[in-house]
Structure 1
Amino acid sequence: MTLPKGTWLKEWNPEDPERWNPGLAWRTLWITTFNLTLAFITWFVVSALVVRLPKVGFEFSTVQLFWLTAMPGLAGGTLRIVWTFLPPILGTRHLVTFSTLLLLIPLLGWGFAVQSTQTPYWVLLLLAFLAGIGGGNFSGFMPSTSYFFPKRLQGTALALQAGIGNFGVSVVQFVTPWVIGFALFGTLLGGPQTFTPAPGVSQPIWLQNATFVWVPFVLVAALLAWVYLRSVPIRANFREQFDIFRDKHTWVMTSLYIMTFGSFSGFSAIFPLLIREVYGGFAGAPDPLRYAFLGPLVGSVSRILAGPITDRFGGAIVTQVSAIGIFLSALLVTLYTRPTSLEQFPFFVLAMLLVFFFAGVGNASTFKQMPMIFPPRQAGGVIGWTAAIGAYGPFLFSTLAAYTQQATGSFTAFFYGLMVFYALNLFLNWYYYARRGAEKPC
């Protein structure tokens, strides 16, 4: 297919078959999804690194470690607010290309910082914040992709992009333990650190590999975006886009997305530390990174699978199922947050995987609801805004979990508080969208 010349398309109407180019739409989806996956990898690489830092000589408290996992979430949410408004200003081509290149800052920074235990804590906090650039990208990439597809396909398209992008969380938590185990770059980018998994036991690891390995992929992804992406002629300045905040449904959908994506991103960030803190005191305690990747993997797969289901049955009813599932799964987790033996660990992991599963389902269904509730330009803005607030999940979950444990000695109260929030959203979705005679059935 011949690519249109220039950056901006002259016309684009996906609801009119004569004025829609499906080849360009799907090409945009796949290239942007590749870039988005790398963004999620960058966003969550800190969660994969922090569980190793104490065993290579970094002397941090539990609260300090939770703050390192919290900072990417704080940055991701804040930067997503900015990225929300960029698609109609910069266009897909420029936005995806330059946002991807920005990922090089935290990736290179962390690669050099972890090589010395003398690196100040504030530097690691700053680099953790900069990793949030990867989280910010989501609120630019998803709305711009939504412009390319008709409403009948947006549930599937957005679920594919977000679901595959979410795989980045699982990928980085799965790849990190393997890639830090050998001299991937020889001595070119630094020597090994001494890892002491148990007293009297030590081995060399190369923590810098966890971030350096992704640099070539980022460069390739940015090049693909620049060469093959184009921008839909939907334009608006910052002021014109503020009209979404006058609609109450923006705020209802924001709360629903905090329930779904906030849970997915929040638990993805703290799952390794939850395993370490709850079950790490037992003899033969499990390695958190052997299990942590399973949560985001399950959530990503369920998001992809739920996309076509929402196109067929509607987003509201699927969100209702998601809310019920998250609530009951969180209740199940509380049965295993004060363990008496390692025999309870498999049940703890299973309960957490159920939380991830239903959160992933809700991630897909809420993104189906928004294009049905709002017109295209506003829908893009609401998608970006809700994604921005949902991205505070790692920050909120990390800080609340840390201080709940500090105050009560366990994480049980943390899950009870979440259940109250889940129940509220169950009611909101039913009242406004899912019940018979709802104000905005979708």
Structure 2
Amino acid sequence: METTTTASATPPTGNGGWITGWDPEDEEFWERSGKRIARRNLWLSLFSEHVGFSVWSIWSVMVLFMSPEIGLGFTAGEKFLLVTIPSLVGALLRIPYSYGVTRFGGRNWTVFSTSLLLIPTVLTAVFVMRPGTPLWVFLLIGALTGVGGGNFASSMTNITNFFPQRHQGWALGLNAGGGNIGVAVIQLVGLLVIATAGSTSPVHVAAVYLPLIVVAALLAALRMDNIDAVRRAPGMLAEAVRRRHTWWLSFLYIGTFGSFIGYSFAFGLVLKSEFDFTALQAAGYTFIGPLLGSLARPVGGRLSDRWGGARVTFWNFLGMAAGTGLLLVASAQNSFPLYLASFIALFILTGIGNGSVYTMIPAVFARQAENAVASGGSAVEATALARKLSGTVMGIAGAVGCLGGVFINLTFRVSFGGAAANGDTALTTFLVFYLVCVIATWAIYLRRGRARVPVAERAAVAAHKEAADV
């Protein structure tokens, strides 16, 4: 039977119960015990999400091993399709995974979702070395790895409720960055396997992650907590869907996270196709971009805490457009150094943009809460609604943004399968999209002085005062 603990006292570690009355905006509670509890859950959630991202992106490594040498001579188009399927499934699972946290609790859902990663990882290890295995089998296993993509949404929905508004950028950036870096880590593991065991031993990559999945699930079960603040009021999803900012923020997230995950999955294949690299040559570079992009995500959150998410996002999209333009120049000159440098810069910018757009989500709804309080509304209700909407919209934006990865890989598939057999058509398409994002960010969030940093402190203070007066 689960126990219930109030937020005014430090809950027993790993009691499997719910902490009730969780309010990180209460500075006394935050300093006394809330901060320690929140950070513990952040680190454990980050580890589980990291492993989930690695499993989700495992086929970006497996396709580098696929060659006639091991009886798997698929075309470039078939390989791009194989790395597209996990991205699609991960996108579709993000909303139900986000709901899972609000229904079952952050600790409980983390244990379940992490344990589920064992299924696609075992299947990958079993089938990847079987010569003559048809493409549909790999597509099915790739679809199952999509469950790792859902872990991001559930982790972000959970962690945003643990931290006060003033620390949202840092906490969400660190949590997401630590998860994103799983893409780079598994690609680095792939490089080490190719360099030591050869390009015919992909099973070792999957074998590395089986014990890590077990450890992550056990730590979540023993050390994480469920908090009542994560529970979503009935109809919250429908309410979020009706908000126009939900869809504008999701659109911007397509440009940042969609680009990050799409490029991460496709980078090795792009290098092999564009410059006729071997598996070892491609693997030697593929981890660099995702690694730096992941590390840049907390930077985007920090910059947004200081300058405002909208302003950082605007300049970031301009930088992404410029980086894509340089890629086109490098492709025309067949310059690998310029191509690699431009792509790495683009990865870094996607990371910064991921942090800035996700920081915008709670900030936008905090601003609406301030406006509601200024109009005479209840500060308690307005602040609570803003926090619950933020968690819901993070799930929606994560799902929609993830579809950008599908778009990236399908566009590369068409581009490399065309008459020119290069990525120029895809890059031109991405350049136009980034320019549209620049215009949208300015028009919706920056013009007419909209760049003011939306902060919820005044609403939170009023909420505590109102609660004290009751």
TM-score w.r.t. structure 1 length?
A: 0.90
Look up the match of 2:359: 368
The residue number in structure 2 matching 1:3 is 12
Specify the alignment match of 2:173 in structure 1. Answer: 159
- SS of 1:213's partner is helix
**Is contact 1:301–1:360 with CA below 8 Å preserved after alignment?**
yes
- Alpha-carbon shift at residue 123 of structure 1 (Å): 1.0
More helix by share: 2
Once residues 415 and 320 of structure 1 are traced to their aligned partners in structure 2, the CA distance between those partners, rounded to angstroms, is 20
1:45 CA drift (Å): 1.0
What does 1:187-198 align with in structure 2 at a 5 Å threshold?
A: 195=199
Does residue 1:292 correspond to 2:286, yes or no?
yes
Aligned pair 1:245/2:217, yes or no?
no
Aligned to 1:210: 205
2:162 aligns to what?
148
Compute the displacement of 1:172 (Å).
0.5
C-alpha separation in 2, matches of 1:166 and 1:142 = 12
Change (3 A) 1:286 1:349: farther
Q: Aligned match of 1:321 in 307, 315, 323?
A: 315
Kindly state the Cα deviation for residue 353 of structure 1 after the two structures are TM-superposed: 0.7
Q: How does 1:20-99 map to 2 (within 5 A)?
A: 20=30, 21-54=34-67, 55-99=69-113
Question: What is the CA distance between 1:405 and its match in structure 2?
Answer: 2.3
Residue 230 of structure 1 and its aligned partner are, at CA, apart by 1.0
Are residues 95 and 75 of structure 1, via their aligned partners in 2, closer, same or farther at CA, if it must alter by over 3 Å?
Answer: same
Residues 429 and 306 of structure 1, relative CA distance in 2, 3 Å threshold? same
Q: Give the number of aligned pairs.
A: 418
**Structure 2 CA distance, aligned partners of 1:224 and 1:416?**
45
Q: Deviations over 1:30-76 (max 9, x none)?
A: 00000011011001110011011114220211111111111110111
CA distance in 1, matches of 2:91, 2:437: 20
For 2:24, the equivalent position in structure 1 comes to 14
State the 1:425 CA deviation.
1.1
Give the aligned residue type for 2:28: E
Q: Which amino acid aligns with 2:213?
A: V
| Match 2:123 to one of 95, 98, 109 | 109
> For the Cα contact (< 8 Å) 1:155–1:310, is it kept in 2?
yes
Q: CA deviation at 1:348?
A: 0.4
- AA at the equivalent of 2:357: T
Q: Structure 1 counterpart of 2:125, which letter?
A: G
| CA spacing shift, 1:58–1:157, aligned 2, 3 Å | same
Q: Distance in 2 between matches of 1:366 and 1:338?
A: 32
Deviation at 1:399, TM superposition (A): 1.2
Q: Please state whether the residue corresponding to 2:228 is helix, strand or coil.
A: coil
Partner of 1:349: 340
Aligned letter for 1:398?
A: N
Rounded to whole Å, the distance in 1 between the matches of 2:172 and 2:164 is: 11
Asked whether the 8 Å contact 1:72–1:394 carries over to 2, the reply is no
Percent of aligned pairs with the same amino acid: 33
Question: What's the offset of the Cα at 1:16?
Answer: 0.7
2: CA distance between counterparts of 1:285 and 1:80? 32
Alpha-carbon distance in 1 for matches of 2:303, 2:219: 31
Moved more, 304-313 or 323-332: 304-313
| Ranges in structure 1 where 5+ consecutive residues have no aligned partner | 184-193, 196-204
2:398 is matched with which residue? 387
- Structure 2: state its 5+ residue gaps: 1-9, 366-385, 455-470
Counterpart of 1:405 in structure 2 is 416
Per the normalisation by structure 2, the TM-score is: 0.85
Secondary structure at the counterpart of residue 337 of structure 1:
helix
Q: Which amino acid aligns with 2:111?
A: T
Choose which of 256, 259, 267 in structure 2 pairs with 1:260: 256
| 8 A Cα contact 1:280 1:286, kept in partner | no
Taking a change above 3 Å as real, the CA distance of residues 305 and 236 of structure 1, as seen in their structure-2 partners, is closer
